[in-house]
Structure 1
Amino acid sequence: MSSSPRFFRLALVLGLLSAVGPFAIDMYLPALPAIGASLGAGIGAVQASLTVFFVALAAGQMVFGSLSDRFGRNPPLYAGLALFALASVGCALATDIHTLVALRFIQGLGAAAGMAIPRAVVRDLHTGTDAARLMSLLMLVFSVSPILAPLAGSLAIALAGWRSVFWAVAVAALAGMALMATSLAETRQPADRRAAAQGNAAAVYGALLRDRHYLGLVFTGGFAMAGFFVYLANSSFVMIDHYGLSPATYSVAFGVNAAAFFGASQLNGPLGERFGLAPLARGAATACAAVMGAMLLYYAAGGDRLVVLLVLYFIASGLMGLVIPTTSVLALEEHGAHAGAASALLGTLQMAAGTLMMAVVGLFTDGRPLPMVAGMAAGAWIAAALAWGSLRHSARPAAPAPRGRQSGA
């Protein structure tokens, strides 16, 4: 079943829909210095246009998650993609940094649908190691964004300026809507939609927020991801301005690290069957914390070689590929009845953790590697501590669940 053409086709569609929003982040990164120069804005103001996108991405998932439980998965996805496309056109036409920041917030709200709902679709259909396989395949397709988007962004900027980036992501959103219309069937059953409509969304979110095991898993993945958010916000300035890389070379370096994440994530299924999903996530989080600790020690001691940053973060990225998809699957495992809300809250809390970490590191950003590396290491250490607290009692491999509606779904 997990190797069937339908399984891979579903992963392809969900991965591409999930990638539309991140495409607007990763394609945008090489443009940050150019946007600052064009609009007369400093580093802090330009980074604000990235930060508000993450804030909106976090808040919007709560809305779209509940809507997808009540009305099905597809209608909110269409609405989110349409809002994203309209805001992208506005960003392309912005003439000052304040307008751009406001429109980036709206763009992030639209992108939230593509982040929350595909995870809920995975939970609608699968649990256990089959869900881990599908989530990892989804992320493999999703990897087209951090690997190719910075390169595409650099090319677009060189040929037509930074505004072309936003025209390109608007077209990507329209393509996503066309893909949905032809390839994505509704997975939320009518009876489940009626049950959700009769319930209280606030009560559902309240119950999730009281579930310590769920929260521990969410924040394990969230703080592992927070280190990556710090890297997202600062790496273009560190590598282009401090180390002197061209935007194209920076894009290649960024893509190589992303490839490590998504390549390693494909091992989640077989490693989860052999060792169990919980021990896998716990061990990978611990190893990632050790690697990031070594990187921080190097830079704190006065080291400043780019190759150290690239090699150690390549290893850490691969380890995060074993942590983040696995903890997401485990967090949703027992919440099939409200998978949209559980997925949305997961995304919101993880985005909030990442945004908070970016904001804190931003207070110390000076264009050099050390503040960025310290923030990345802090995220990895918190994730490892949470993994040991949340997963220490889980040792058995999760058995694959049969395809179709699961218990509670």
Structure 2
Amino acid sequence: MKPELIKMALMLGLLSCVGPFAIDMYLPAMPAMAEDYGVPTAMSQYTLVSFFVAFGVCQLFYGPAADMFGRKPPLYFGLVVFLLASVGCALAPTIEWLIALRFVQGMGAASVMSIPRAIIRDRYTGTEATRLMTTVMLVISISPMLAPLVGSLLMAPFGWPSVFYAVALATVASLLLIRFALPETLPVQQRVPVKITTMFDAFRVLFRDAYFMGMTLIGGMGMASFFSFLSIAAFLYTEYYGLSPTQFSLAFALNALGFFVASQFAANLCERFGGVAVVKWAVTGFTVSAAANLALNLAGVDDFAILVGLLLLGNSFLGLVVPTTMVLSLDDHGPIAGTAAALGGTLQMMLGAAAIGIVSAVFDGTPLILVAAIASCGVVASLLFAVTLRQSAQPVVS
């Protein structure tokens, strides 16, 4: 890969890590936090739901803002909001305050979800964009592999509030990175006029684009499956399977490893077979592995190694699905890349938030709910691909 691509991937990957870091580092703390506040498990899971709702909805504002004012100003604003909210979360006196501050934290984190995608589209398309996107995913993958472990190590001597102070420090580093290393990729002459009608016109174009919507929602079902895992993994692994917070962090990292390794093959596979074909076979593989996990559970097989092994396989397929669908959805929308990335991110986050709410509400302490939720996401993703392919002129190379 060209040195310029590597440099850009590292910068965008580190920026994009801020939101996931605030999620993954926090997971081992959830049982302890629920105990400290004296609230049930479901109440602590609302701190995830509130974060994801804000994380999703606020992208609708950051995307158009990035098209209107350039890429860097909205990043500054969002990260400052995120920094202040992170400190507030560490000091939250009640669970209700924490839920509210997590919402504000999500509002800030939304800026680093959609805008990096638009920055990629400013400079690259096609295979080169996929290669950059997958390298960004490589950097982001460090977060779910290391963040829970860092969180569990901080919790032992300093308690769960230390997790939020660590996130605040990471945010300061991100602000310095934007100031001194990240170039502005949207020249003034290419910026969209500041008009609310312009934003709604762009949304109208995107909602009417079946290919954009299809690829976005396919990636969204992959996100929803992962968020289902996020919402109950800490409780399932520690309370049902008896893992310590550190052991949970290592098991969680193993799942992320599959996504991380597979994503590095996405660009080469897309170059050889075409992006649509890669999505087709990766969605099929994800659905089959998820269905196998559900079938084994229903048959009475309750083995932790099998559960984790099939989750690892499914996440490996998602490592091909998620970055490829992101690139494919934006390819035809260069002039409104910020808005398109924002809408795509919002739809995916809202699917994730809905998955968290549903799974948390019905979680019975056993693996059945988790494997059933992931299998459902796989089936819906497969159906979405079939519908998208019928409504699109995009060819599939078998």
TM-score of the pair, normalised by structure 2: 0.97
**Equivalents in 2 of 1:226, 1:396: separation in Å?**
25
How far apart are residue 300 of structure 1 and its match?
Answer: 1.4
In the alignment, structure 1 residue 24 sits paired with structure 2 residue 22: yes
Aligned residue number for residue 139 of structure 2: 141
In the alignment, structure 1 residue 379 sits paired with structure 2 residue 368: no
In the alignment, structure 1 residue 277 sits paired with structure 2 residue 275: yes
In the alignment, structure 1 residue 320 sits paired with structure 2 residue 355: no
Aligned residue number for residue 395 of structure 2: 395
Equivalenced residue count is 395
**Equivalents in 2 of 1:194, 1:211: separation in Å?**
20
Alignment CA distance shift 1:395-1:210 (3 Å): closer
Alignment CA distance shift 1:26-1:198 (3 Å): closer
- Unaligned 5+ residue runs, structure 2? none
Alignment CA distance shift 1:194-1:214 (3 Å): closer
- The residue correspondences of 1:4-403 to structure 2 (distance < 5 A) are 4-195=2-193, 200-391=198-389, 393-395=393-395
The 3-state SS of whatever aligns with 1:229 is helix
Question: Identity of paired residues, percent?
Answer: 46
Contact 1:282 1:391 in 2 (8 A): no
How far apart are residue 95 of structure 1 and its match?
Answer: 1.2
How far apart are residue 394 of structure 1 and its match?
Answer: 2.9
**Equivalents in 2 of 1:96, 1:195: separation in Å?**
43
- Unaligned 5+ residue runs, structure 1? 398-409
Paired letter, 1:67:
A
**Equivalents in 1 of 2:101, 2:344: separation in Å?**
25
**Equivalents in 1 of 2:353, 2:230: separation in Å?**
11
**Equivalents in 2 of 1:275, 1:370: separation in Å?**
36
Aligned residue number for residue 407 of structure 1: none
* Deviations 1:70-114 (CA, angstroms, capped at 9, x unpaired): 000000001100000000000000111000000000000000000
How far apart are residue 228 of structure 1 and its match?
Answer: 0.5
How far apart are residue 195 of structure 1 and its match?
Answer: 4.6
Contact 1:279 1:394 in 2 (8 A): no
How far apart are residue 194 of structure 1 and its match?
Answer: 4.3
How far apart are residue 226 of structure 1 and its match?
Answer: 0.6
**Equivalents in 2 of 1:309, 1:191: separation in Å?**
53
Contact 2:262 2:319 in 1 (8 A): yes
**Equivalents in 1 of 2:228, 2:6: separation in Å?**
32
Runs of 4+ in 1 over 6 A off after TM superposition: none
**Equivalents in 2 of 1:92, 1:189: separation in Å?**
39
Contact 2:231 2:359 in 1 (8 A): no
Q: Report the aligned-residue RMSD.
A: 1.2
**Equivalents in 2 of 1:119, 1:385: separation in Å?**
26
* Deviations 1:1-50 (CA, angstroms, capped at 9, x unpaired): xx111110100000000000110000000000000011111111100001
- Single out whichever of 235-244 and 381-390 deviates more from structure 2: 381-390
Paired letter, 1:394:
Q
**Equivalents in 1 of 2:334, 2:90: separation in Å?**
40
- Single out whichever of 124-133 and 352-361 deviates more from structure 2: 352-361
How far apart are residue 190 of structure 1 and its match?
Answer: 1.2
How far apart are residue 381 of structure 1 and its match?
Answer: 1.3
TM-score of the pair, normalised by structure 1: 0.95
**Equivalents in 2 of 1:144, 1:371: separation in Å?**
27
**Equivalents in 2 of 1:317, 1:82: separation in Å?**
32
**Equivalents in 2 of 1:235, 1:45: separation in Å?**
15
The 3-state SS of whatever aligns with 1:139 is helix
Paired letter, 1:323:
V
**Equivalents in 2 of 1:72, 1:198: separation in Å?**
16
Contact 1:156 1:164 in 2 (8 A): yes
